[in-house]
């Protein structure tokens, strides 16, 4: 049933837009990181959905199956998922340090505290 | 039938993502992101990407949720209300959505066997992988053998991230 | 949570099976879904479960910090070492078919060691990151 047509692409665009909105419109640092994770997962969908063939099977060669779904996007997205969680771990570590240094994880409060403090280059 | 299941799961994912954007309590946001990752893993199984589904379920729904809960315990709290109505980000997002939807009209139709993605190097991988490497799982064969350099780089990235987190969060022993 | 008998008993029964499942996913990655990344993460999740139920100091006694940090580095070295073995035996970097007499056997060997390296690094890094996040609050990262 191919009537699903471009629906998967539009859902991908919606997820991408939601992730992007969370990153640019919310001030809380942890929520920004979660928005980034949503954005990254929409990209996974963008790559894997075109590789699917209705009536095919998973790309594991076995007797009796002649049509397989495309294995190449799977390989690329496996790498992307692991790199995504590495990025999340680093981002959360920096957030923890920011919380300990400024006492808050809201972006505007951190920027205010930074604007009033002495600069690193010696300006008061 | 497969198309209907995929469409239903995708709609559910979109609903959870929108709820995640509107939610303000950080603990609910973390739980919703775990639910979103599980739904993503189910959609990936429906799209025949079984390796990716296992990785997304264990990494996205498992380790990511643990790390987010750990960071939340150390940072804590509700999310503060946004100070002004966020019209500019909404407008920017809508413009980008319009541009992307216009772009998707040029993409190949779903499940089209003549799409460019299926006709270049992939038939060689599918036909020769079992004979050349002796491994039936073509994804493992491509990941570890045909594209081994990329996997070496990815392992180095994981190690670098671990080293970075150690450098950020390690406490030096002080004499008390 | 150590004082809750249900959690303690269930954890002691489940953790061996989780580790066994991680090994299964690792070695059967050739014939079904699986491979190094998934196996490393499942093994790390088993240890995280142990740390949650029995406490972080008990987990640190079981898998000390030095072991976990060394695991993170040894996996990458193992992977790069397989590549150097390819050069030493006459081929290019990361050539697998020179690793044994029969090229297909060489591919098997190469893929086996490469996936093992990946699993060791991923489980080491995930567990170490969990130790750092969980131990930061109350000065438990001694």
Domains of chain A are 2-116 (1.10.287.3510)
CA distance C67 to C75: 12
- Over range A37-66, report the average pLDDT: 88
Q: Which residue in chain C is spatially nearest to B167 when comparing CA positions?
A: C132
Domain with B62, as residue range(s), is: 1-80
Instruction: Say if the Cβ atoms of C33 and B59 lie within 8 Å.
Output: no
Closest CA to B139 of C42, A36, A81, C20: A81
Asked if B47 and B2 sit in the same domain, the reply is yes
Instruction: Say if the Cβ atoms of B118 and A99 lie within 8 Å.
Output: no
Closest CA to B162 of A5, C125, C60: C125
CA distance C52 to C79: 32
Chain A residues whose CB is inside 8 A of the B123 CB are none
Q: Which residue in chain A is spatially nearest to B73 when comparing CA positions?
A: A96
Cβ proximity of B44 and B52 under 8 Å:
yes
Band of residue C26 on the pLDDT scale cut at 50, 70, 90? very high
- Over range A44-50, report the average pLDDT: 90
Query: Cα separations (Å) of B109 from A1, B128, B150, B174?
Result: 12, 28, 29, 62
Residue with the larger pLDDT of the pair C72 and A4: C72
Asked if B118 and B166 sit in the same domain, the reply is yes
Which range among A89-98, B103-112, B152-161 shows the weakest confidence by mean pLDDT? B103-112
CA distance A95 to A91: 6
pLDDT for the residue numbered A57: 86
End-to-end alpha-carbon separation of chain C, Å? 21
Q: Which residue in chain A is spatially nearest to B161 when comparing CA positions?
A: A86
Asked if B74 and B126 sit in the same domain, the reply is no
Q: Which residue in chain C is spatially nearest to B171 when comparing CA positions?
A: C141
Average pLDDT of the residues of chain C: 90
According to DSSP, the residues that pair with A57 across neighbouring strands are: A68
**By percentage, how much of chain B surpasses pLDDT 70?**
93
CB proximity C26 to B under 8 Å: no
Cβ under 8 Å to A: B residues 23-82: 26, 29-30, 33, 36-37, 40, 43-44, 47-52, 55-56, 59-60, 63-64, 67-68, 70-72, 74-75, 77, 79-80, 82
According to DSSP, the residues that pair with B15 across neighbouring strands are: none
CA distance C94 to C86: 6
pLDDT for the residue numbered B172: 63
* Option in B58, B74, B140 nearest C111 (CB): B140
Q: What is the CA radius of gyration of chain C?
A: 18
Instruction: Say if the Cβ atoms of C41 and B63 lie within 8 Å.
Output: yes
CA dihedral B9, B11, B12, B17 (to 10 degrees): 130
Asked if B74 and B2 sit in the same domain, the reply is yes
CB proximity A18 to B under 8 Å: yes
Tell me the ipTM for this assembly.
0.90
CB proximity C129 to A under 8 Å: yes
- The two tokens of residue A110 are 């951190």
Instruction: Say if the Cβ atoms of C33 and A58 lie within 8 Å.
Output: yes
Band of residue B176 on the pLDDT scale cut at 50, 70, 90? very low
| Domain-embedded: residue B40 | yes
Residue with the larger pLDDT of the pair B1 and C74: C74
CB proximity C48 to B under 8 Å: yes
Residue C105's CB is within 10 A of a number of other CB atoms, namely 14
Asked if B135 and B68 sit in the same domain, the reply is no
Q: What is the CA radius of gyration of chain A?
A: 21
pLDDT for the residue numbered A116: 74
Mutation site for A-interface testing, chosen from B138, B148, B160, B166 by largest number of A Cβ within 10 Å: B138
**By percentage, how much of chain C surpasses pLDDT 70?**
95
pLDDT for the residue numbered A120: 55
- Give the position of tokens 């939610």: B23
Asked if B66 and B122 sit in the same domain, the reply is no
Q: What is the DSSP letter of A51?
A: G
**Which residues, in sequence order, are CB contacts of A9 under 8 Å at separation 6+?**
A46, A49, B104, B107
Cβ proximity of C38 and C126 under 8 Å:
no
Asked if B125 and B72 sit in the same domain, the reply is no
CA distance B113 to B118: 7
Which range among A42-56, A85-99, B155-169 shows the weakest confidence by mean pLDDT? A42-56
pTM metric for this prediction: 0.90
Band of residue C142 on the pLDDT scale cut at 50, 70, 90? very low
Which range among A54-58, A76-80, B161-165 shows the weakest confidence by mean pLDDT? A54-58
pLDDT for the residue numbered A123: 54
Q: Is the pLDDT of residue A2 over 50?
A: no
CA B35, distance to chain mean position in Å, is: 13
| Domain-embedded: residue B124 | yes
Cβ proximity of C46 and C62 under 8 Å:
no
From B58, B80, B102, the end of a domain falls on B80
- Over range B102-107, report the average pLDDT: 85
| Domain-embedded: residue B88 | no
pLDDT for the residue numbered B124: 87
Band of residue A1 on the pLDDT scale cut at 50, 70, 90? very low
Cβ under 8 Å to C: A residues 11-70: 58, 60
Q: Is the pLDDT of residue B112 over 90?
A: no
Q: Is the pLDDT of residue A34 over 70?
A: yes
Q: Long-range contacts of range C132-135, CB-CB < 8 Å, 24 or more positions apart?
A: C132/A93, C132/B165, C132/B166, C132/B169, C132/B170, C133/A92, C133/A93, C133/A96, C133/B67, C133/B70, C133/B71, C133/B74, C133/B169, C134/B70, C134/C51, C134/C56, C135/C56, C135/C60
Q: Could you please report the per-residue DSSP string of chain B?
A: -HHHHHHHHHHHHHHHHHHHHH---HHHHHHHHHHHHHHHHHHHHHTT-HHHHHHIIIIIIIIHHHHHHHHHHHH--PPPPPSS--HHHHHHHHHHHHHHHHHHTTSPPTT-TTSGGGTSSHHHHHHHHHHHH--SBHHHHIIIIITHHHHHHHHHHHHHHHHHHHHHHPPPP---
pLDDT for the residue numbered A83: 93
pLDDT for the residue numbered B81: 64
Instruction: Say if the Cβ atoms of C125 and B135 lie within 8 Å.
Output: no
- Over range B25-52, report the average pLDDT: 93
Q: Is the pLDDT of residue B103 over 60?
A: yes
Asked if B135 and B63 sit in the same domain, the reply is no
Mean pLDDT is highest, among B61-65, B102-106, B113-117, B170-174, for: B61-65
CA distance B46 to A8: 13
Q: Which residue in chain C is spatially nearest to B174 when comparing CA positions?
A: C142
Q: How many domains does chain B have?
A: 2
pLDDT for the residue numbered A61: 87
From B80, B96, B122, the end of a domain falls on B80
CB proximity B83 to A under 8 Å: yes
Asked if B59 and B2 sit in the same domain, the reply is yes
As to burial, measured by CB atoms within 10 angstroms (0-12 exposed, 13-18 middle, 19+ buried), residue C133 is: buried
DSSP run (H or E) holding A50 = none
Closest CA to C140 of C50, C44, C65: C65
């Amino acid at each position: 049933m191919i009537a699903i047509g471009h629906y998967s692409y539009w859902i991908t665009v919606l997820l991408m837009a939601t992730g992007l909105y969370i990153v640019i419109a919310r001030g809380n640092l942890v929520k920004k990181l979660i928005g980034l994770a949503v954005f990254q997962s929409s990209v996974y969908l963008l790559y894997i959905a075109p590789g699917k063939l209705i009536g095919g099977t998973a790309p594991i060669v076995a007797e009796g199956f002649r049509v397989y779904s495309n294995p190449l996007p799977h390989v690329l997205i496996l790498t992307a998922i692991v790199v995504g969680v590495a990025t999340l771990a680093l981002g959360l570590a920096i957030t923890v340090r920011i919380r300990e240094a400024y006492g808050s994880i809201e972006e505007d409060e951190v920027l205010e505290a930074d604007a009033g403090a002495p600069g690193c280059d010696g300006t008061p | 039938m497969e198309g209907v299941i995929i469409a239903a799961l995708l709609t559910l994912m979109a609903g959870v993502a929108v709820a995640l954007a509107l939610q303000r309590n950080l603990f609910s946001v973390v739980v919703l992101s775990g639910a979103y990752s599980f739904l993503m893993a189910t959609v990936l199984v429906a799209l025949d990407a079984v390796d990716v589904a296992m990785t997304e379920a264990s990494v996205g729904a498992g380790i990511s949720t643990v790390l987010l809960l750990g960071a939340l315990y150390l940072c804590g709290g509700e999310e503060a209300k946004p100070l002004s109505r966020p019209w500019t980000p909404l407008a920017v997002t809508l413009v980008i959505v319009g541009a992307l939807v216009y772009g998707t009209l040029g993409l190949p139709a779903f499940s089209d066997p003549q799409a460019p993605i299926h006709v270049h190097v992939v038939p060689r991988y599918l036909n020769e992988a079992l004979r050349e490497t002796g491994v039936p799982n073509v994804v493992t064969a491509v990941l570890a053998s045909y594209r081994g350099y990329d996997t070496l780089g990815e392992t180095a990235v994981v190690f670098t991230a671990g080293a970075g987190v150690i450098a950020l969060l390690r406490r030096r022993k002080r004499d008390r | 949570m150590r004082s809750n008998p249900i959690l303690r008993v269930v954890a002691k029964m489940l953790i061996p099976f989780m580790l066994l499942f991680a090994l299964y996913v690792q070695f059967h990655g050739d014939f079904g879904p699986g491979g190094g990344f998934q196996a490393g993460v499942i093994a790390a999740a088993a240890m995280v479960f142990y740390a949650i139920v029995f406490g972080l100091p008990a987990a640190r006694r079981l898998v000390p910090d030095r072991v976990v940090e060394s695991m993170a580095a040894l996996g990458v070295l193992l992977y790069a070492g397989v590549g150097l073995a390819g050069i030493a035996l006459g081929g290019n970097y990361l050539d697998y078919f020179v690793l044994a007499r029969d090229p297909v056997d060489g591919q098997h060997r190469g893929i086996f060691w490469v996936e093992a390296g990946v699993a060791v690094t991923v489980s080491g890094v995930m567990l170490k990151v969990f130790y750092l996040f969980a131990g930061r609050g109350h000065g438990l990262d001694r």
